[in-house]
Amino acid sequence: MQLMQGQKLNGRYKIIRLLGFGGFGETYLAEDQWLEGDNRCVIKRLKPDVVNALTLKLFEREAQILTKLGNHEQIPQLLDYKAWSGWGGALYELKRYEEALKCSEQAIQIKQDDPDTWYNRGWLLNNLGNYNEALVSYDRVIEIKPDYHLAWIGRSIALFGLGNYDQALVACNQAIEIKPDYPEAWKTYGDVLNALERYSEALTSFDKAIELKPEYDDAWNRRALTLLTLERYEEALISCDQAIKIQPDLFLFWIVQGAALDKLGRYKEAIASLDKAIQLEPDESLSWWSRGVALNNLGKYSEAITSFNTALTLKPDYQSAIEHLKWTQTQLRKKKYKALAILTIFATMAIFIIYSWNEYQEQQKIRQEQQQKIRQEINDIMKSIRQK
């Protein structure tokens, strides 16, 4: 649907008229009501169904050209920080985090006191594993808007990434105090409690997240992992099943289900779950390692070795896979030696039986010859008697 004359966007831009449209979207002449004087500008509106890597690249190229051309009264400029934020959000969806971060930086340059933009920057930095810089962003958000619960959660995640679990718990508590009905805060709280080995409390947190959001697949999965740690395998499997029911296309859920089935001694079902995980994400080393462990439990050492080798191809420094591979190779050698020993015993027995049979036949032959000789002697005696 086209924008109407007089319609406002982001509380800032007032549409004057449609300038043109094409396959990618529409272009409008508008007024930037935050600016004085000649405040006319051009709005480009991309169609949602064409926002992809190609359209974003074209948009990015246009923005770069405008930036290189510099300031001139007849050259349009990207003035709206929300445009940069929106662009960054689209790049984030494509997992192009470095590029999305640059967009956030541009947005901050235009408007330095917008908490959403600082929050987005922190979230991107968390995804890039730059937790110290993420903390700077979240602290800036909290400075601008102290009750921004998402920033407290983001701060908790950054502190968690730095291994500062106690402070992460404090930040998460703050988020819950601000918004106690936010399920993601309770899920994050549970993650931190797990890291502190306070498993029963973590379980309570995940239960609270699920109470607030019954279809919260990640909370069900974290609950399953906690139950596995507590060795409550049947309950863990129920939580796994629930997570998969909600989101069947996430490979990690199938790995956790495989782990629960393995602990219950249901090895063939565990392998089936892990095969599903591999089908969804063939390049995940954890799936291949877990499959190798389950195959070991079935005594299928050759197949297990193949799985461990695949895991190491994907992740050469996978220490657990290296250790399991060595153990499995040792077990396979022992199995072969045992089979060889059994074969040797049977072969020895067979030789003994054959030898005994040959000896028996030889003895029988001797007996038969002796009996024949005796019979001949008796016949000779009888013949001699008759002749007399």
Which residue segments constitute the domains of the chain, with CATH numbers given? 1-42 (no CATH), 51-112 (no CATH), 249-353 (1.25.40.10)
Alpha-carbon gap, residue 332 to 339, rounded angstroms: 10
What does the pLDDT read at residue 67? 47
The helix/strand/coil state of 75 is strand
The helix/strand/coil state of 17 is strand
Q: How many helices (H) and strands (E) does the chain have?
A: 16, 4
Alpha-carbon gap, residue 146 to 246, rounded angstroms: 34
User: DSSP letter string over 282-348?
Assistant: TT-HHHHHHHHHHHHHTT-HHHHHHHHHHHHHH-TT-HHHHHHHHHHHHHHHHHHHHHHHHHHHHHH
Length of the chain (residues): 388
Alpha-carbon gap, residue 334 to 326, rounded angstroms: 12
Distances (CA, A) of 304 to 36, 45, 192, 314, 358: 71, 54, 34, 16, 47
Residues 94 and 59 sit within 8 Å (Cβ to Cβ)? no
What does the pLDDT read at residue 26? 74
Alpha-carbon gap, residue 112 to 190, rounded angstroms: 33
Percent of the chain residues past pLDDT 70, beyond the cut: 67
**C-alpha angle 66/68/71, rounded to 5°?**
70
- Walk along the chain (388 residues) in steps of 10 and give the mean pLDDT of each run: 73 75 69 68 61 58 51 47 58 72 76 84 91 95 94 96 96 96 96 96 97 96 96 97 95 96 95 96 95 94 94 95 93 71 62 61 69 64 59
What does the pLDDT read at residue 59? 59
Sign of the CA dihedral running 183, 185, 191, 194: negative
Kindly report the number of other CB atoms within 10 A of residue 1's CB atom: 3
What does the pLDDT read at residue 279? 96
* Continuous H helices in 128-195: 131-144, 149-161, 165-178, 183-195
Residues sharing a CB contact under 8 Å with residue 160, sequence separation 6 or more, in sequence order? 168, 188, 191, 192, 195
Q: pLDDT tens digits, residue range 295-352?
A: 999 999 999 999 999 999 999 999 999 999 999 999 888 766 665 656 666 656 666 5
The helix/strand/coil state of 51 is coil
What does the pLDDT read at residue 382? 61
Residues 131 and 125 sit within 8 Å (Cβ to Cβ)? yes
Alpha-carbon gap, residue 307 to 278, rounded angstroms: 11
